[in-house]
């Protein structure tokens, strides 16, 4: 990778070096416009190993790194329950923030962070990577260009091969806030419309550690958009065959299908018993380009070269929809969401 001259690079630190953070760290280390100065994880050995690999400094305490005035921006990929405290500390220290989803676990907490970001004039970008995926972007451009006509139906599928660890699930917030939030954001972003009604269905089928209503493993969410279109989101934590993220917009004039074939390569194995394809297994594979692009975008926005995208306001909107889905599941009925996306309890139980 050809790096920009040192002086022109944005000095960045990253906290949390697990499944997602290690990937972001490697992208930060190889993005021309950044200098990865610190990697931080409470597991010192992990931080040491990644620091050595990426030629950066390491620490097991975010606060030490935040005190360094040379750091301009912080990438936060710690467990979701820690986001509020870490984002707030980073903003208070005058750093720009890229944070994995969800930005925080309640709308009140996100509002507090937004107020803080406005007061300190710092940027907050959230890890809604689908906005940076070439396939989803191409479908959105077609819709924007009028090629699909009026959208009638949106569909989004997100499935993982096997569930993350019990520890991850315990600190991730609700299923909707952790998982469906990607589809809810993609829905708003792709159609360019707000969602006004949500109804959620869920099941816990694969393992005794999943249970309703708090911790499902299979979910379907039906949504209605402000312009009248309907949407269906299906999610599974236990797809078995691989990681899959696919979507569709059925429109008046044309239908756009996104990511139908997510295979590792273009080889199909034909046998007497049938055809086989190597499906991608993990999110790292499916979204490698998007994860890199979102970080590059963040740095471009910090530098003032690009418009902010996947903002704190988007994080708030998506979380409010996730909460509406949770309420719908608990109350076994549709829940309407008003124009400012506040969940209405008009017909509360």
Tokens representing 6? Answer: 């040192």
15 bridge partner residues: 40, 76
For ligand NAD, the closer of residues 225 and 287 by Cβ is 287
CA distance 349 to 345: 8
Q: What is the DSSP letter of 160?
A: -
For ligand NAD, the closer of residues 82 and 232 by Cβ is 82
Size (the chain), residues: 349
For ligand NAD, the closer of residues 132 and 225 by Cβ is 132
The nearest distance, CB 100 to ligand NAD, in angstroms, is 3
What are the residues binding ligand NAD (CB under 6 A)?
15-21, 40-43, 46, 62, 77-80, 82, 100-101, 127, 129, 168, 172, 178, 283
The nearest distance, CB 315 to ligand NAD, in angstroms, is 12
Which one, of 233, 240, 247, lies nearest residue 329 by Cα?
233
For ligand NAD, the closer of residues 19 and 277 by Cβ is 19
**Three-point CA angle 44, 76, 307, nearest 5°:** 150
The nearest distance, CB 35 to ligand NAD, in angstroms, is 20
Q: Which residue is nearest to ligand NAD (CB)?
A: 18
The nearest distance, CB 316 to ligand NAD, in angstroms, is 16
CA gyration radius for the chain? Answer: 20
The nearest distance, CB 261 to ligand NAD, in angstroms, is 20
Which one, of 175, 166, 216, 146, lies nearest residue 184 by Cα?
175
The nearest distance, CB 39 to ligand NAD, in angstroms, is 10
For ligand NAD, the closer of residues 143 and 169 by Cβ is 169
For ligand NAD, the closer of residues 154 and 283 by Cβ is 283
β-strand pairing of 96-99 with 218-225: unpaired
CA distance 39 to 47: 6
């Amino acid at each position: 990778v050809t790096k920009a001259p040192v002086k022109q690079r944005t000095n960045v630190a990253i906290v949390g070096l697990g499944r997602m953070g290690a990937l972001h760290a490697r992208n930060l280390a190889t993005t021309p416009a950044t200098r990865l100065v610190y990697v931080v994880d409470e597991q010192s050995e992990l931080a040491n190993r990644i620091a050595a690999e990426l030629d950066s400094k390491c620490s097991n305490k975010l606060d030490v790194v935040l005190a360094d005035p040379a750091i301009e921006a912080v990438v936060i990929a710690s467990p979701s329950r820690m986001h509020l405290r870490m984002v707030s500390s980073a903003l208070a220290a005058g750093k720009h923030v890229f944070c994995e989803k969800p930005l925080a676990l309640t709308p009140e907490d996100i509002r507090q962070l937004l107020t803080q970001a406005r007061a300190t004039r710092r940027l907050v970008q959230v890890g809604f990577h689908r906005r940076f995926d070439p396939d989803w972007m191409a479908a959105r451009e077609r819709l924007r260009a009028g090629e699909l006509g009026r959208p009638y139906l949106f569909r989004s599928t997100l499935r993982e091969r096997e569930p993350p660890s019990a520890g991850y699930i315990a600190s991730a917030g609700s299923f909707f806030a952790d998982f469906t939030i990607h589809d809810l954001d993609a829905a708003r972003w792709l159609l360019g419309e707000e969602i006004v009604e949500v109804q959620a269905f869920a099941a816990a089928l694969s393992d005794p550690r999943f249970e309703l209503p708090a911790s499902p493993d299979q979910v379907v969410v039906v949504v209605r958009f402000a312009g009248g279109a309907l949407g269906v989101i299906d999610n599974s934590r236990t797809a078995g065959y691989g990681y899959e993220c696919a979507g569709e917009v059925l429109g008046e004039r044309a239908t756009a299908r996104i990511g139908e074939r997510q295979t590792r390569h273009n080889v199909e194995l034909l046998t007497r018993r049938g055809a086989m394809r190597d499906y991608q297994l993990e999110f790292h594979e499916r979204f490698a380009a998007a994860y890199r692009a979102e970080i590059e975008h963040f740095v471009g926005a910090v530098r003032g070269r690009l418009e902010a995208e996947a903002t704190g306001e988007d994080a708030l909107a998506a979380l409010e929809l996730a909460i509406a889905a949770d309420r719908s599941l608990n109350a076994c009925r549709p829940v309407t969401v008003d124009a400012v996306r506040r969940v209405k309890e008009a017909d509360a139980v």
